[in-house]
């Protein structure tokens, strides 16, 4: 991949892969919200970036002008064989009316009751991971902890072997971090993921089990069964949507606690705070920026958007908008009113939010129960993912006090 020119003007040359933005996007959004508020760039074709909650909200709710077929910004056209009605990963890449039936079909698999069944397994998993490093008095939270919980859950959920976890994380890295700027390098990995999931579908066709593939094989939309491409697309989405996102949220929350001992000790001593604290971590460190394709000319905060333009939808910036939240940069563990956009807004609002919240809560609860005091080993060694999902990918911490 060729080196990227550094950004010198965020208003006119926005780049979500710029190292400055990857390391710390918050000052960029603050500046744009105040001065702009919709940035532009030609780096991925004509691309717009609203930064205030008002415009982000407006776009998320307007499916007439903004299509989800452009849910990820990529600087090359998608291979035609991956394009189908509803996009390559329904329902996140689908628009109404197709979106409505597809989402409806998936909803029961993510009901609060079904998701609550994961609680005991999640706790066991968290503790087994902690057992592996607790005596070392140090660990890399991103690599040894936060990453493994979501990938194991998703592998089990879709009916794959948890032994293939490393393969899943590699595929997701290529899909989310490499594909947008270097599709040629990423494509063989995407095709590898697609082939793996295809084999899984074929295996369940012969021998059904209690998993999501079998669920999709038995499902129908208005009486019509799903075709193979739809099943494959939904599986690809669940793998991509369910892993990096939650990995990022767990990591960012623990990163915050490692640097804020008062918040850490409050959470250890007042476990009832966990519910509001989880929402506050989701608000302050929301990991997901989505994207849309403009399908009809439209004005956004006075900017003339043309059909065919791209648009980034940084929900994390909406969550730091001072017009929407008092003290937006402050993490307030018991924030009372917290209508954040970490899970999006409108018809595409996250289907996995019950699962994400459960994973996040249990991962933090078990971590601080066993390791009630910890801090960063060295802030310079923390690294962050690039692109549309943001979270720590290396997070070394040290600790003394443990509850074995
Ligand atoms: C902290 C973790 C997570 C965050 C922050 C998150 C965030 C989001 C956001 C912002 C959207 C909206 C997309 C849009 O507007 O285009 C979304 C959609 C979606 N998410 Fe999540 N997500 C998380 C975890 C999960 C998990 C664990 C799953 C399931 C395994 C999941 C499945 C989905 C699906 C299927 C959609 C598409 C819904 C639709 O298009 O109707 N997500 N997510």
**pLDDT tens, 50-67?**
999 999 999 999 999 999
| Residue 5 CA to ligand 1 centre (angstroms) | 31
Q: List the strands of the sheet with 310-314, edge to edge.
A: 38-41, 47-50, 310-314, 289-294, 66-67
For a pocket test of ligand 1, which of 310, 312, 352, 389 has the largest count of ligand atoms closer than 8 A to its C-beta?
A: 352
pLDDT of residue 1: 44
Q: What whole-number distance in Å separates Cα of residue 158 and Cα of residue 151? A: 11
What is the residue with the minimal CA distance to atom 13 of ligand 1?
A: 348
pLDDT of residue 235: 94
What is the residue with the minimal CA distance to atom 7 of ligand 1?
A: 343
DSSP three-state, residue 40: strand
Ligand 1 atom nearest 102 alpha carbon = 41
What is the residue with the minimal CA distance to atom 39 of ligand 1?
A: 348
pLDDT of residue 401: 86
- Whether the per-residue pLDDT at 37 is higher than 90: the answer is yes
Average pLDDT over residues 13-17: 96
* Pairing state between β 298-300 and 303-305: antiparallel
Q: What whole-number distance in Å separates Cα of residue 335 and Cα of residue 329? A: 12
For a pocket test of ligand 1, which of 176, 241, 293, 363 has the largest count of ligand atoms closer than 8 A to its C-beta?
A: 241
Ligand 1 atom nearest 344 alpha carbon = 10
pTM of the model: 0.96
Least confident range from 100-104, 174-178, 258-262: namely 174-178
Average pLDDT over residues 204-212: 94
Beta carbons within 8 Å of 362's beta carbon, 6+ residues apart: 119, 122, 123, 126
Average pLDDT over residues 69-95: 80
Give the burial string for 368-389 (b: 16+ CB within 10 Å, else e).
Answer: bebbbebebbeeeebebbbbbb
Tell me if 60 sits within 8 A of 312, measured CB to CB.
Answer: no
Ligand 1 atom nearest 106 alpha carbon = 35
Assess if CATH 1.10.3720.10 describes domain 19-79+94-398: no
Percent of the chain scoring above 90 in pLDDT: 89
DSSP three-state, residue 315: helix
Beta carbons within 8 Å of 184's beta carbon, 6+ residues apart: none
Average pLDDT over residues 100-109: 96
| Residue 371 CA to ligand 1 centre (angstroms) | 30
Tell me if 393 sits within 8 A of 140, measured CB to CB.
Answer: no
| Residue 288 CA to ligand 1 centre (angstroms) | 8
The strand pairing partners of 292, in sequence order, are: 311
| Residue 139 CA to ligand 1 centre (angstroms) | 29
What is the residue with the minimal CA distance to atom 43 of ligand 1?
A: 350
Average pLDDT over residues 198-212: 94
Q: What whole-number distance in Å separates Cα of residue 302 and Cα of residue 328? A: 25
pLDDT of residue 283: 98
Write the pLDDT tens digit of every residue in 140-186.
999 999 999 999 999 999 899 999 989 999 999 998 899 888 989 99
Ligand 1 atom nearest 110 alpha carbon = 29
> Residues with beta carbon inside 6 Å of ligand 1?
60, 68, 71, 91-92, 103, 154, 237-238, 241-242, 245-246, 249, 286-288, 290, 315, 342-344, 348, 350-352, 355-356
| Residue 277 CA to ligand 1 centre (angstroms) | 20
| Residue 150 CA to ligand 1 centre (angstroms) | 13
In the chain, domain spans: 19-79+94-398
| Residue 294 CA to ligand 1 centre (angstroms) | 21
Report CA 58 to chain centroid distance, whole Å.
21
pLDDT of residue 70: 87
Average pLDDT over residues 348-358: 97
Over the chain, what is the mean pLDDT? 94
Q: What whole-number distance in Å separates Cα of residue 179 and Cα of residue 71? A: 13
| Residue 250 CA to ligand 1 centre (angstroms) | 15
| Residue 350 CA to ligand 1 centre (angstroms) | 4
Average pLDDT over residues 209-217: 94
| Residue 90 CA to ligand 1 centre (angstroms) | 12
Ligand 1 atom nearest 154 alpha carbon = 30
For a pocket test of ligand 1, which of 86, 343, 388, 391 has the largest count of ligand atoms closer than 8 A to its C-beta?
A: 343
């Amino acid at each position: 991949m060729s080196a990227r020119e550094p950004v010198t003007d965020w208003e006119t040359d926005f780049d979500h892969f710029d190292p400055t933005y990857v390391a710390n996007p918050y000052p960029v959004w603050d500046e744009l919200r105040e001065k702009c508020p919709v940035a532009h760039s030609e780096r991925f074709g004509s691309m717009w970036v609203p930064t205030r909650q008002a415009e982000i909200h407006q776009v998320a709710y307007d499916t007439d002008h903004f299509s989800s077929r452009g849910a990820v910004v990529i600087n090359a056209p998608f291979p035609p064989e991956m394009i189908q009605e509803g996009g390559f990963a329904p329902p996140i890449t689908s628009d109404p009316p197709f979106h409505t039936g597809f989402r409806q079909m998936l909803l029961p698999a993510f009901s609060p009751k079904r998701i609550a069944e994961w609680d005991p397994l999640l706790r066991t998993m968290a503790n087994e991971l902690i057992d592996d490093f607790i005596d070392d008095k140090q660990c890399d939270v991103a690599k040894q902890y936060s990453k493994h919980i979501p990938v194991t859950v998703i592998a089990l959920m879709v009916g794959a072997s948890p032994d293939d976890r490393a393969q899943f994380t590699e595929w997701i890295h290529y899909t989310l971090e490499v594909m947008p700027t270097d599709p040629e390098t990423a494509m063989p990995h995407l095709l590898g993921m697609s082939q793996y999931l295809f084999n899984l579908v074929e295996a369940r066709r012969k021998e059904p089990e209690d998993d999501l593939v079998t669920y999709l094989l038995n499902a129908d939309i208005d009486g019509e069964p799903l075709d193979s491409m739809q099943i494959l697309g939904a599986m690809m989405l669940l793998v991509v949507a369910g892993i990096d996102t939650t990995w990022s949220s767990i990591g960012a929350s623990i990163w915050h606690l490692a640097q804020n001992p008062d918040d850490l000790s409050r959470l250890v001593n007042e476990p009832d705070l966990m519910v509001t604290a989880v929402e506050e971590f989701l608000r302050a460190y929301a990991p997901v920026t989505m994207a849309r394709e403009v399908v009809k000319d439209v004005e956004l905060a006075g900017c003339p958007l043309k059909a065919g333009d791209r648009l980034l939808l940084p929900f994390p910036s909406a969550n730091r908008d001072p017009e929407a939240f008092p003290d937006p940069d402050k993490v307030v563990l018991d924030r009372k009113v917290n209508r954040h956009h970490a899970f999006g807004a409108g018809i595409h609002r996250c289907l996995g939010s019950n699962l994400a919240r459960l994973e996040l809560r249990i991962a933090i609860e078990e971590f601080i129960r066993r390791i009630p005091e910890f801090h960063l080993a060295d802030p310079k060694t923390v690294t962050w993912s690039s692109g549309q999902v943001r979270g720590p990918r290396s997070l070394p911490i040290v600790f003394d006090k443990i509850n074995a």
